[in-house]
Amino acid sequence: MIATSAAHPHTEKAGVLRGVLWIAAAVLACLSVFLINGRPLFYYDTVGYIIQGNTALTHLGVPGESPLAERAELVTEARMKGVPAAMPDTTEINADRTVDGSRSAVYALIAGVFAHLGALEGLIALNVVAVLVAVWLPMRVAMRRLGLPMSLPKAVSLPIIVAGFGSLPFFVAYLMPDTFSPVMILVFATLAVFARQMRPWEILLALALGSLAIMSHLSHLAIAVVMIPAVALVSAALQRRRWWIAPALTLLIVGIGFSEQSALRTAAKSMADSEVVIKPYITARLIEDGPGYAYLKGHCPNEAIPTCKLYEALSHSGDPWRLTATHIVFETSQRLGSFRLMTPEDQRLVADNQIVFFFRVFRDRPLSVIHAFIRNTLLQARWVSVEMTIPDEEIIWQNSEVTGLLTGDFQHGRITRDTSWLRVVTPAQEIFYGLCLLITLGLVLAPRRVPGEIRALAVVVLFGILANALVCGGISQPATRYGARVIWLLPLVTTILVLFAWRSRQFAPQPGRRP
């Protein structure tokens, strides 16, 4: 008895040590690209978030020197010279008393705080914590309900380590809010499946993480709205009793997202007597896809349709590339520009009218709009390369005057100057995702191989990936960045399915044995 009692502390310490090592391995998997590159990855709009966050801190009376002291002068000078310094997404609608609402004020504020602290790498740490918590929550509840022959740290870490072979570490290293899109999907999947069994503090943690995720980018709010029916259906299918809890909680998160947008508009009005305006992404998408341009061609000129002002601007050049969504929203040259060449007031009118314009086009050409949405969604779902996380020379120039990194200036790292490795990594990752999809579909469809709750979790995650493709491809612009930011959920959920399939096999009655 004495020997047994003495062994317990040693066993507990060994278990804690193993758990710490597993979590450390998961953190290293998340940080692998950052550690190899030696610097964070960043995008055109990284500087935009920092500028907006710094402006917000100034309005709040936070003392300290701006990390962007020379940035405004450089951008103004570049625009006057016709240099394409205002690439996505640093351009603003310059109408009097307007605030650009295309970026998340919450994420911008967080970026501004880290910039003032001289530690923008804190955004990477935030990504790591968000991913760990988003995986830990469902695994904790699943193990409490269903059990696994392994520790919780191992059950959390293994899926993250496997996802580390995909796009996960690239987006963890990315100074952009993209990581919070898959985090939000995981939170919604967790609530859809386990809300009835979660403890109050677990629900509060899920609500906090989901709220941060939905407020970190405007597209996340649209994805969340699209996911609500899937959450409700899965919750009702699992258990009729109290099925409404999960959709109610997701609606609460969506409500917080809309409240943040409302608060931004109130703050802009009260603090700067300004109106929040969102760039006309929907209008540009409809024009590039065809239905929007056909509608304008058939109804303009018409003073009652503000978007006719954009149609007039598009008519100044015959270059077909002027009709692409990116050129419509951002281009400033006479050959390819349109929206940016309009007067600031006309820009505001077109931007404010984009929702009305969408419904006008949809009523006029519903089949064409639906066809375009489906086509863009399927195209977006196939684009999963991490190429857009790698900064090129223009992106580096765009961020050249930004300070606040512990690792030095915004410059190339060890893997970003020569990107020939993408020719190997991209097809390898595509094959990896394809295999994961086959395994996931096989385990979801196979009866009794995996517990129903875990299969339901995978279904909601898969729906979230499609919702991301629908919103980003259909409303914005199909781009590899949007697909790659969520596709690491596929190997992650595949690993979770495999773990519970293995668990079911371990616990299955053996032939010749009494159950």
Give me the helices (H) in 273-412, please: 281-289, 291-299, 308-314, 325-330, 344-352, 354-364, 366-382, 393-398
Tokens standing for residue 486: 């969520």
HEC string of 229-275 equals HHHHHHHHHHCCCCCCHHHHHHHHHHHHHHHHHHHHHHHHHHHHCCE
Residue 418's pLDDT band, with cuts at 50, 70 and 90, is very high
On whether the CB atoms of residues 355 and 282 are closer than 8 A, the answer is yes
- For residue 188, the surrounding DSSP H or E stretch is helix 180-194
Distance separating alpha carbons of residues 112 and 168, to the nearest angstrom: 24
In whole angstroms, give the CA distance from residue 351 to residue 284.
10
Strongest mean pLDDT among 190-194, 275-279, 405-409: 190-194
Helix boundaries (H) for 365-451: 366-382, 393-398, 422-445
pLDDT band at 512 (very low <50, low <70, confident <90, very high): very low
Cβ pair 138, 189 in contact under 8 A: yes
| pLDDT value at 471 more than 80 | yes
pLDDT confidence tier of residue 452, bands split at 50, 70 and 90: very high
For the record, the structure tokens of 283 come out as 């209008």
Q: Would you tell me how many other CB atoms lie within 10 Å of the CB of residue 38?
A: 14
CA atoms within 13 A on the CB side of 456: 23
- Residue with tokens 């501004």, as numbered in its chain: 112
Check residue 207 and give its pLDDT: 97
Q: Is a pLDDT exceeding 80 seen at residue 192?
A: yes
Dihedrals phi, psi of 41, to nearest 5 degrees: -95, 150
Q: Which of 180-184, 293-297, 320-324, 369-373 has the highest mean pLDDT?
A: 180-184
- Identify which has the larger pLDDT, 273 or 240: 240
Look up the pTM and report it: 0.88
Omega before 320 within 30 of 0, i.e. cis = no
CB-based contact 470:412 (threshold 8 Å): no
What is the reported pLDDT for 359?
Answer: 93
Q: Is the pLDDT of residue 458 over 90?
A: yes
How does residue 88 score in pLDDT terms, banded at 50, 70 and 90?
very low
pLDDT of residue 66: 56
Average pLDDT of the segment spanning 423-448: 94
Q: Residue 252: what pLDDT?
A: 97
Contact criterion met (CB below 8 Å) for 468 and 181? yes
pLDDT of residue 97: 54
Q: How far is CA 374 from CA 29, 194, 309, 459, 466, in A?
A: 35, 31, 28, 20, 11
What pLDDT score was predicted for residue 333? 85
Among candidates 159, 76, 168, which has minimal Cα distance to 127? Answer: 168
Can you tell me the mean pLDDT for 444-457? Answer: 91
What's the chain's average pLDDT? Answer: 87
Contact between 231 and 196 under an 8 Å Cβ cutoff? The reply is: no
Please say if the pLDDT value at position 417 is more than 80: yes
Answer with the residue of higher pLDDT: 11 or 22.
22
Q: Give the whole-number percent of the chain exceeding pLDDT 90.
A: 59
Q: How far apart are CA 265 and CA 213, in angstroms?
A: 20
Is the per-residue pLDDT at 514 higher than 50?
no
Which of 102-106, 284-288, 449-453 shows the lowest per-residue confidence on average (mean pLDDT)? 102-106
pLDDT at residue 183 greater than cutoff 70:
yes
In this prediction, residues 339-365 reach a mean pLDDT of: 90
CA distance 241 to 243: 5
pLDDT > 90? residue 239: no
What does the pLDDT read at residue 402? Answer: 81
Determine the pLDDT at residue 85. 44
- Banded pLDDT at 386 (limits 50, 70, 90): very high
CA distance linking residue 396 with residue 343, whole number of Å: 30
pLDDT score of 89 more than 60:
no
pLDDT recorded at residue 318: 83
pLDDT band at residue 308 using 50, 70 and 90 as cut-offs = very high
pLDDT at 3: 42
Q: Which segments of 64-151 does DSSP mark as H helices, in order?
A: 71-80, 105-116, 122-146
State yes or no: pLDDT of 42 exceeds 70: yes
For the cut 90, the answer to whether the pLDDT of residue 178 exceeds it is yes
pLDDT tens for 49-61 read 998 888 888 877 7
Is the pLDDT at 174 greater than 80? The verdict is: yes
Can you count the helices (H) and strands (E) in the chain? 23, 2
Contact at 8 Å (CB) between 125 and 311?
Answer: no
pLDDT at position 217 over 60: yes
The residues, ordered by sequence, that sit 6+ positions from 223 with a Cβ below 8 Å of its Cβ are: 181, 184, 185, 464, 467, 468, 471
